[in-house]
Structure 1
Amino acid sequence: MYRENKNMNQDAHQTILRGDLYYADLSPVVGSEQGGIRPVLVIQNDVGNKYSPTVIVAAITSRSTKAAIPTHVCIRRMRGGLKQDSTVLAEQIRTIDRNRLKEYIGHLDSGQMAGIEQAMVTSLGLGHLTGNMGQVFLPSYS
């Protein structure tokens, strides 16, 4: 997938996809929230990305001193366009206005997203919805 690096404020209607990496301005923050201009991973579904004025993201840090816990997923530099080894923080999920998105960095492939999805299942306590293959089973309302 190829996309030109753009400032989102210059093209507010740019297509945003699940798995995209952007720099985003996460300030102001309160307490232990991740803040400042930093990489984020878009985790919202593509229908929401197309129609919503907001986007759900997970914060990314390059600090290697973060504890290795089940909600952290390491992404090696150059994967998805990242300039240094980084960690997706699946416990630092937030909804932001799409105007907070700045420069497009790149995109993670489905293999990389699988690990992040498992970390999100752990973070959100959704393990009871998963089967042996890690697939989420949704209840039927028919």
Structure 2
Amino acid sequence: MRHEKIYRGEIYLAKLDFVIGIKQGEVRQVLIIQNNIGNYFNDTVIIAVITSHIQKSDLPTHVRLSYGYGLVKDSIVMLEQLRTVDKRRLGIRVDSLNNKDLLKVNRSLLISIGIVPG
């Protein structure tokens, strides 16, 4: 098992090739949403995809982030786009969300997985 220091709420660059709908070899910004215990003991992490295409409809599963998080421009965390990926797919750590934005992610995640209505 890999004992890497990866924390919930961190933004990473990740190679998401071999996924339908994503160009092969494409590197994307992702948000770590798995808990820290899972991040420590597992070889995989659960992530949400981040997109800079903010013209997409505002869904209750979207959280807007400003470019101040090391993002090239304003972006959206898409909590309806959850994936489990091997840690080897993660590249550099870009930044970490503040508590206010992490709370928004938590609310949108609850909607995404059907715990609370959207």
CA contact (8 A) 1:60 1:88 kept: yes
Which runs of 5 or more residues in structure 2 are unaligned? none
**Is this contact kept in 2: 1:19–1:41, CA < 8 A?**
yes
TM-score w.r.t. length of structure 1: 0.75
Name the aligned partner's letter for residue 66 of structure 2. Answer: R
CA distance in 2, matches of 1:13, 1:85: 32
CA positional deviation for 1:34 = 8.4
1:106 aligns with 2:74: no
Name the counterpart of 1:115.
104
The equivalences for 1:1-142 within 5 A come to 14-30=4-20, 32=21, 36-78=26-68, 80-127=69-116
Q: Which runs of 4+ in 1 moved over 3 A?
A: 32-35
How far is 1:127 from its partner?
A: 1.1
Over the aligned positions, Cα root-mean-square deviation in angstroms equals 1.8
Matching residue's letter, 2:42 = S
Assess if the C-alpha contact under 8 Å between 2:11 and 2:97 holds in 1.
Answer: yes
Contact 1:81 1:107 in 2 (8 A): no
Residues matched between the structures, number: 115
Task: Find the structure with the greater CA-based Rg.
Answer: 1
CA offsets per residue over residues 53-111 of structure 1, 9 Å max, x none?
00000000001221111111100111x32221000000000100000001110100111
Q: CA 1:90–1:33 in 2, change beyond 3 Å: closer, same or farther?
A: farther
Seen in structure 2, the aligned counterparts of structure 1 residues 56 and 34 have a Cα distance that, compared at 3 Å, is farther
Amino acid corresponding to residue 63 of structure 2 in structure 1? V
Q: Residue 28 of structure 1: CA displacement?
A: 1.0
**CA–CA distance in 2 between the matches of 1:73 and 1:61?**
10
User: Kindly, what percent of the aligned residue pairs are identical?
Assistant: 37
TM norm structure 2: 0.90
List gaps (5 residues or longer) in structure 1: 1-11, 129-142
Counterpart contact for 1:33–1:92, Cα < 8 Å = no
